[in-house]
Structure 1
Amino acid sequence: MSLQNKNMVCALRLGVIGHIAQAFWEDRLPETIDNIPFVMRPRNGPDQTRCCIYKDRAILRERIIAALGFRLEDQTDDSVPLRQLAEQALEDQTPNWPILTVCDIACHGCMKARYFVSDACQGCVARSCAGSCRFGAISFAQGRSYIDANKCRNCGQCHEHCPYQAIVRLNVPCEAACPVQAIHKGPDGRAEIDFDKCTSCGRCMRACPFGAVMERSEVLEVLLALRSEAHVTALVAPAMVGQFKGGLPRIITALKALGFDEVMEVAAGADVTSRKEAEEFVERMARGDKFMTTSCCPAYVEAVRRHAPNLAPFVSSTRTPMHYTAELSREANPETINVFLGPCVAKRTEGLNDPLVDFVLTFEEVGALLDARGINVENCEEAELGNASGAGRGYAISGGVAAAVRKMVDDREAVRPIFVNGLSLQALRKMQSYIDGACPGNLIEVMTCVGGCVGGAGVLAEADKAARLVDRFAQSSPDSVSRD
């Protein structure tokens, strides 16, 4: 189920985290960290991915810096040894925004996104491509069509009208993946992130086939917490069921073997969110609101704040499942350190703004730690589960949040859900049109990632397979949580 063997960039992320963790557990991180690029890319090794082994090692060095929690754009002196940065990170590194960073030497400097006439062009008599172009960008020569890049406006009409599908769209993966157009080419042709637009969803990081967009990890801070005398609680997002073979009871045992003192299902917090959001929905409908949107996706909430502020009054004021689970954790143990384990890179930003959440790890990072520790989830014993409902456990898949809220609303109000399964500027504009125009529903569930949380930027498993496992687990769970 792991993507590690299907995507070399994923394997590099896992490998770096694993090597750092292994060195930390052996109490030799500063002494050996400068050797990690050489260990991962030995001379005459089989896994060279760049033009030369030296560039491979240079980029691994940058990846290690990001894994230590540093921002690559702030590193102006390449002669600083990794040992010095590791010592600094062990002493005083704390998570801060922004959580994404770009490694310029890893960026391929992809060509500008554009439409291109392929060799499939037949030079047909109809010339529908030219007829559909409003800008006079298409001409014919030597029996085929050509696009003048200086005139083309990338409207795509030629692509739509070509009967042979000979005109194709050449995309820049990171730019195409970003739902809010926050990533672009800088003056040197390399990727840059506009953090005034960025919602920290991480989709650009997941899409870049060269691994140039990286996240600043909090794994070292979590390792320090686990080694300390402090009580540490893992807050496990519902999507985790689909990430490791063996099921949630064995995952809980594996996390405790990793060093966590307590493991709590975030599905329990999802039940609180469902209850509160249902109450809010009923109140809003009673006062005449046209619709309400869900609020559990932090990237969506950030997108509203930055790109569609007129939607803000329609976003539920209910807090996220992560917050309510952290609240339950602190009620049980006021001194515990809360570590959220989830599929979402944007949760790091939410965690920075929530005093109840201390650190955030992605499923990729958790998987790397388990591998480095030699913990196989399938071989672990089953632990006892809490009393989260099946509806709360289904939050991880598209449609799950609306279904849970609808169940809590019951017959008090007619719920007519609308689903945004993968956020985009077009989807935001569509929702904005509902403010003054007709709205086909009254509860809009918004998931930034296609498929829901199982499609997040920090997952290990393929979204469709993970969704089936999550749904199966949710369907087999009780729905005993009341509205009270």
Structure 2
Amino acid sequence: MLYDNFAMLTKRELLIRIVKLLKEENLVNGVKYIPVEMRPKNKRPIKCCVHKDRYILKHKIISILGFEITDEEIDLIPLSEFAQKALDNKNTKENILSVVHEACSACMQSQYFVTNMCRGCEGRPCLMNCPKAAISFKGGKACITQEDCVGCGLCSKVCPYHAIVYTPVPCEDVCPVKAITKSEDGTEHIDKDKCIYCGKCMQTCPYGAIMERSKVIDVYKSITAPDKKIIAIPAPAIYGQFNATPGQILSAIKAIGFDDVVEVALGAEDTSRNEAAEFLERMEEGKPFMTTSCCPAYVGWVDKHAPMVKPFVSDTRSPMVYAARRVKEQYPDAEVVFIGPCLAKRYEAEMYVPEVDYVMSFEELGAFMVAYDINPETCEELPLDPEVTKFARGYAQAGGVRNAIVEAVGNGYTTLSIEGLDKKNQTLLKTMVKKPEAQFVEVMACDGGCVNGPCSLAPLTLAKRQIKKALEK
């Protein structure tokens, strides 16, 4: 679940400051002042000193500007030069997700650790139950030999004083596919061949050391170019991010400078229609079950880690694709910007959806709104498309796709909604190949659905309330 923390706020402040400088046409000259302004000498440092804090901010800015930090020579280049290269489209960062090594604290390897709460009791259940004899007692206190420990956790479970705790590497611990591991220097490395771009590592890192490739500069250049038409297609989850009506939120997005705003929920209507027809066809053919395909992180998991499930995944395209196609039909020469909470959408758009030119996160959208002094609550209402139903907008939350398909095909089939790709759900999906749990299965990589995506602005509980209000209107 998304929780506010200072690392997250630092990232958002960097985005806001960069967009403000873009708006003022002062990015090249002004970007060098950001680290100093955010970490002045009279402010208590987070790391060892204010200079280290500023150095980390510089590297995060370089990442936001679209550059990969590969060697130490990058320290010889001023931020202004990176800014100019970014404006000239010379930013060469290829990875959608990368580790800012200067920010990574090289957390110690995950392990079980005996705290000072150990009482050295006579029972010593930790010692008796350890299957590898990794626990001994020194000075009346338990001690774990890490070389022998296999991390089973039995010692922690049986300790009557809860004196043994598990200390994880947060990013490694949440990755559902073990795509992030330590390099030789202790910092983290992301394996692109394993990564499904769910964004959980980025969301979890307490140092904000994992960042996605930003497109704020590209989007800004397009919306300010007089000879370009640019259309925003926001995901349905947008209605959970602000305390405003759907019409006001769409109006706020348009006020940034977009020529038009088209709901991705309109594309969700096409997805529902096509997926319902495909599902009925598969059932008539005697197929045991079918899963959804609108979550790109789930599709990535199937492609890279569960190929046995692939024959049962729907071939229907995601709402983003259908919405972008509608826009291209109406505005053939326009650039299309998808706005959503999902990191994996960047990968989907780049690899498989030529109709989408840029993907912008909700965090980046929020930065534009702050920089442009736009408050959705005070914006006028934009009329909503009458073709879009509450079922299409309901794609934003877990169970929404299932509800839309049930509405289309009726209640004569068994259905299941799976939230998250933890070990339990991965095992469930793999075993369904031989023992199906339901005929129609909705799968979302994020707990709670898209409203809890890694690039969301609002916490899940608040986003759910806002979505509920939007669907009731």
Alignment TM class, shorter chain as reference: over 0.9
Amino acid at match of 2:356: V
Structure 2 match to 1:368: 367
Deviation at 1:97, TM superposition (A): 4.2
Alignment of 1:242 with 2:240, yes or no, is yes
Amino acid at match of 2:207: F
* Pick aligned residue for 1:120 from 117, 120, 123: 117
Amino acid at match of 2:242: F
Residues 275-314 of structure 1 mapped to structure 2, 5 A cutoff:
275-314=273-312
Structure 2 match to 1:394: 394
Residues 413-428 of structure 1 mapped to structure 2, 5 A cutoff:
413-417=412-416, 419-428=417-426
Structure 1 match to 2:383: 384
**Contact conserved, 1:114 with 1:154, CA < 8 A, in 2?**
yes
Structure 2 match to 1:63: 60
Q: Distance in 1 between matches of 2:216 and 2:17?
A: 12
Q: Find the residue that maps to 1:92 and give its secondary structure.
A: coil
Q: Judging changes above 3 Å, is the alpha-carbon distance between structure 1 residues 166 and 15 closer, same or farther for their aligned structure 2 residues?
A: same
TM-score for the superposition, normalised by structure 2: 0.94
**Contact conserved, 1:138 with 1:147, CA < 8 A, in 2?**
yes
Deviation at 1:265, TM superposition (A): 1.1
**Contact conserved, 2:85 with 2:91, CA < 8 A, in 1?**
no
Structure 1 match to 2:264: 266
Q: Distance in 2 between matches of 1:276 and 1:79?
A: 54
Q: Distance in 1 between matches of 2:127 and 2:149?
A: 11
**Contact conserved, 1:95 with 1:352, CA < 8 A, in 2?**
no
Q: Distance in 2 between matches of 1:392 and 1:299?
A: 20
Q: Find the residue that maps to 1:77 and give its secondary structure.
A: helix
Note the alpha carbon deviations across 1:392-428, whole angstroms, 9 max, x for none.
Answer: 11111111121211211115x41322x3211134422
Q: Distance in 2 between matches of 1:200 and 1:358?
A: 19
Alignment of 1:154 with 2:145, yes or no, is no
Structure 1 match to 2:322: 324
* Pick aligned residue for 1:82 from 56, 79, 84: 79
Amino acid at match of 1:266: V
Q: Distance in 1 between matches of 2:150 and 2:55?
A: 38
Structure 2 match to 1:481: none
**Contact conserved, 1:73 with 1:102, CA < 8 A, in 2?**
no
**Contact conserved, 1:71 with 1:216, CA < 8 A, in 2?**
no
Q: Distance in 2 between matches of 1:410 and 1:284?
A: 15
Structure 1 match to 2:7: 9
Alignment of 1:185 with 2:193, yes or no, is no
**Contact conserved, 1:275 with 1:408, CA < 8 A, in 2?**
yes
Structure 2 match to 1:26: 24
Structure 2, unmatched stretches of 5+, are none
TM-score for the superposition, normalised by structure 1: 0.92
Note the alpha carbon deviations across 1:240-295, whole angstroms, 9 max, x for none.
Answer: 11111212211111112110111111111112111211111112222222221111
Alignment of 1:100 with 2:97, yes or no, is yes
**Contact conserved, 2:114 with 2:143, CA < 8 A, in 1?**
yes
Amino acid at match of 1:114: Q
Q: Distance in 2 between matches of 1:143 and 1:471?
A: 56
Structure 1 match to 2:427: 429
Q: Distance in 1 between matches of 2:73 and 2:287?
A: 52
Structure 2 match to 1:130: 127
Q: Judging changes above 3 Å, is the alpha-carbon distance between structure 1 residues 47 and 279 closer, same or farther for their aligned structure 2 residues?
A: farther
Q: Distance in 1 between matches of 2:91 and 2:311?
A: 33
Deviation at 1:459, TM superposition (A): 0.8
Structure 1, unmatched stretches of 5+, are 478-484
**Contact conserved, 1:104 with 1:190, CA < 8 A, in 2?**
yes
Note the alpha carbon deviations across 1:412-457, whole angstroms, 9 max, x for none.
Answer: x41322x321113442233112212x22212222111121111111
**Aligned residue-pair number:** 469
Residues 202-217 of structure 1 mapped to structure 2, 5 A cutoff:
202-217=199-214
Q: Distance in 1 between matches of 2:71 and 2:441?
A: 40
Structure 2 match to 1:482: none
